[in-house]
Amino acid sequence: MSSREVVVLSVGGVRFVTRASTLQQFPESRLARMLNDDDREFKLVNGEFFVDRDGALFSYIIDFLRTLQISLPTDFSDYQRLQREAEFYGLYPLTNLLSQEHLLKPRLEILEVRFSLQEMQAFFRIFGSCSATIEALAEQITVFTGQQLGQGWKSPFPSQKPLVPLPLERPSHHDMVFLCGTEYSAGDQFVARYVSIKPDNRKLINGTNVLGLLLDTLLKDGFRLISTRTVASEEKVECYTFERMKRAAGLTITVNQTPGSSGVEQARRSQVQKGK
């Protein structure tokens, strides 16, 4: 029986088809012993193994055996039931992982955009609870500067000199600062700052236009606008707060292979690490 290539299981009335090698990932598990007719809990009926357990939760069990990773939906809440199923099948690495519930639950991510208009300049400051999101957003935003004649939002791009990209100001890993618009330089010349936000290729100088593009970029990235407020009426600082449910990263199981140790002992010493 153990040499059979394809195995069919009926778990709680739900049918699963997989390879024997998948069920043998952990040799001391009950699923591996099942293939050797070494566990009376599993009945072979018409060429299919019948298991009187939860079929919906078994889909996570079989996915774990196929990938050695666990990825759960953002609304998943049956951690204890899934852990109980893992214990039934003798999958101790999965049991250990599910006991670390905080690693698997999705986390609420908060991002705040502060915007103010002062004369012919617009100032932006972005705060985020997740530094990785701020890093990714900083790679999308580029500020260009150049000299131009005349003053105003609608002044054309300077033709005499190319625009020069400027690094964003990063007070910390969790925020960034940049501005756009024009400011007086010397004579009748002004320094102009334009903002570009990938994948949009435009270079925008009008602060309201930049704000609109920035908010649209965040909405497309899965954020939801939850509030707007004025935080400093004298300076006309507006604050836009967003939230996003950040899925937990897939987790990978690495089993320590120690010569002479049984599969159960190896599984109990398994290490949990973040999937790449």
> Residue 2: its pLDDT value, please?
41
Q: What is the mean pLDDT of residues 108-137?
A: 93
Banded pLDDT at 11 (limits 50, 70, 90): very high
Alpha carbon 169 to its chain's center: 25
Check residues 187 and 241 and name the one with the higher pLDDT: 241
Question: 160: which DSSP letter?
Answer: S
CA angle 262, 265, 271 (to 5 degrees): 125
**3 state SS of 101:** helix
How much is the mean pLDDT over the chain? 82
Among 274, 263, 235, 206, which residue's Cα sits nearest to residue 28? 263
Q: What is the pLDDT of residues 251-260, one digit of tens each?
A: 666 655 443 3
Which domains are assigned to the chain?
A: 6-105 (3.30.710.10), 108-148+173-246 (3.30.1410.10)
Strand 43-45 vs strand 48-51: parallel, antiparallel, or unpaired?
antiparallel
**pTM here?**
0.59
Residue 247 has pLDDT above 90, yes or no: no
**What percentage of the chain has pLDDT greater than the value 70?**
79
Q: What is the pLDDT of residues 143-175, one digit of tens each?
A: 999 876 554 545 554 445 678 998 899 999 999
Q: What is the pLDDT of residues 38-63, one digit of tens each?
A: 777 788 888 899 999 999 999 999 99
H-helix segments, the chain: 20-23, 30-34, 55-67, 79-88, 92-98, 101-104, 131-140, 207-220, 263-268
Q: Which residue shows structure tokens 């195995």?
A: 7
**What percentage of the chain has pLDDT greater than the value 90?**
52
> Which long-range contacts does 16-21 make (Cβ < 8 Å, 24+ apart)?
16/58, 16/59, 16/62, 18/62, 18/65, 18/66
Banded pLDDT at 275 (limits 50, 70, 90): very low
Question: 200: which DSSP letter?
Answer: -
C-alpha 13/C-alpha 10 separation (Å) is 5
Banded pLDDT at 7 (limits 50, 70, 90): very high
